[in-house]
Amino acid sequence: MKLKDRVSVITGGGRGLGREMALAFAREGAGVVVCGTAGAALEEVAAEVRGRGGRSLAVVADVADEAAVARLVEAALAEFGQIDILVNNAGIIGPTADVTEVARADWDQTLAVNLTGAFLCARAVLPHMAARRQGKIINIASVAGHKGYPLRAPYAVSKWGMIGLSQTLAQEWGRYNIQVNTISPGPVRGERMAEVIRRRAEQSGRTVEETEREYVGRLALERFVEPGHVAATAVFLASSESDSVTGETIRVSSGFGLA
């Protein structure tokens, strides 16, 4: 098992990529702490991990709330005694609109959850990791963090920021044997992507089918990314196999932008 005897904290762990990574980490032997704001969904994931013989804890926490993040880390340490892996996966879609139509509140919320939340979680676990002279932080960005993304300015900015945060933390904390890396998924198959497409279709006056074809047309593999492929990349970055990898961004994108 690649993650035997390690403990992971996965934000946004109740659904989608978070759930997929939690199950993948558990299969590789890691204890899993899943956090988010939807308690029932988190408990389902934790129960699924335990039902398969794994160790798991569900913690309701808003990553944009500094006090809630502190409680999350305290709960993880109280339950497992250590944190070896942090996956900053929590995120929201944000508004789909021209920048002149984006409300300040929506901008602030998107940056608070998608970027400030990652900063707060990393800041909370880094001293513990440094004391043990080991740790892995995996930040989930997006291909939207590599180029402009019309109608999704807050989201794109938050993902550009996530890559910058990763590279900065990698430089600051490398001397403590802490590796910090980013995964940039392309369009991932699932409910979240379906909602992105629906909103863009509505905003642009096109059909959902036309909008979906537009996304697929930008993918070299001509298909959306499978969630399990992102999870497998996260397992690699969380394992000892990536001990010499830090400050890097791995695109799991079905060849987004190559087509």
Catalytic residue positions, numbered:
155
Give ∠ CA 204-209-215 in degrees, rounded to 5: 75
Residue with tokens 């403990």: 7
In terms of DSSP H, where are the helices of the chain? 16-27, 39-51, 66-80, 104-111, 117-132, 153-173, 191-204, 208-216, 227-238
Instruction: Give the chain's length.
Output: 259
Neighbours of 131 (CB within 10 A): 10
DSSP state of 98: -
- Hey, is 1 helix, strand or coil? coil
Cβ-proximal residues to 140 (8 Å cutoff; 6+ apart), any chain: 17, 87, 88, 89, 91, 162, 182, 183, 185, 230
